[in-house]
């Protein structure tokens, strides 16, 4: 038998809770008629931050949009790959990029993060985390990267900042 640390026990109980919630969800599941193509035609790149409920903040429901999330809401190669698939295979015709205030990557020291991980694991890996000096600059850069990518369709691409204190969306010019 493997000893569990308190963190492992908490994770196991959270996993059990999630499986129980899924059994409840299955009983009332009514979305089998939805297709993979989003009803609104939107593809959204947003930060993974737990305070940002994309559907709720934008008044969307399941099936309305493709939501691509990662740390920082960055237009990484993988996020762009997803946008291209969304456009080419599933017909999306508008893109939103959503950053947020008080992001953990804002002004993050990447060297410090790599050093911490190397000390903890004994292994050094050259990985970029995507830190940025301020959220507005980051959102503008992501929008520009999408607009200039040769495979991303020329569709409206908008930048927004979600204010985690008020819930307000702020347009980025």
Q: In what order do the strands lie in the sheet with 169-172?
A: 65-70, 42-47, 94-100, 157-162, 169-172
Report the distance separating Cα 135 and Cα 170, nearest Å.
11
Judge whether residue 5 has pLDDT over 90.
no
Q: What's the chain's average pLDDT?
A: 93
**Can you tell me the mean pLDDT for 103-123?**
97
Q: Does position 16 have pLDDT exceeding 80, yes or no?
A: yes
Paired sense of beta strands 94-100 and 169-172, if any: unpaired
Question: Which carries the bigger pLDDT value, residue 11 or residue 132?
Answer: 132
Q: What is the pTM of this model?
A: 0.88
Q: What is the band of 1 on the pLDDT scale with cuts at 50, 70, 90?
A: very low
Nearest-angstrom CA–CA distance, 164 and 167: 6
Q: What's the CA dihedral at 148, 81, 114, 50 to 10 degrees?
A: 100
Res 8: pLDDT: 62
Q: Which residue has the higher pLDDT, 44 or 31?
A: 44
> Residue 123: what pLDDT?
97
- Alpha-carbon span 112 to 134, nearest angstrom: 18
**β 157-162/65-70 pair status:** unpaired
pLDDT over threshold 60, residue 153: yes
Predicted confidence (pLDDT) at residue 81 exceeds the cutoff of 90: yes
Average pLDDT of the residues in 25-39: 87
């Amino acid at each position: 038998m493997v000893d569990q640390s308190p963190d492992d026990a908490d994770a196991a109980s959270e996993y059990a809770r999630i499986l129980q919630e899924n059994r409840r969800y299955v009983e009332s599941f009514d979305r089998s008629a939805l297709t993979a193509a989003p009803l609104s035609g939107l593809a959204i790149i947003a930060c993974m931050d737990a305070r940002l409920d994309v559907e709720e903040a934008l008044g969307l429901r399941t099936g309305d949009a493709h939501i691509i999330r990662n740390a920082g809401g960055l237009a990484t190669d993988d996020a762009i790959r997803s946008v291209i698939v969304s456009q080419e295979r599933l017909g999306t015709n508008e893109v939103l990029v959503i950053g947020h205030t008080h992001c953990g990557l804002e002004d993050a020291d990447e060297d410090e993060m790599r050093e911490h991980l190397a000390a903890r694991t004994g292994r050094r890996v050259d990985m970029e985390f995507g830190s940025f000096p301020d959220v507005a600059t980051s959102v503008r850069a992501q929008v520009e990267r999408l607009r200039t990518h040769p495979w991303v369709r020329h569709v409206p691409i908008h930048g927004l900042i979600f204010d985690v204190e008020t819930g307000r969306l702020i347009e980025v010019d």
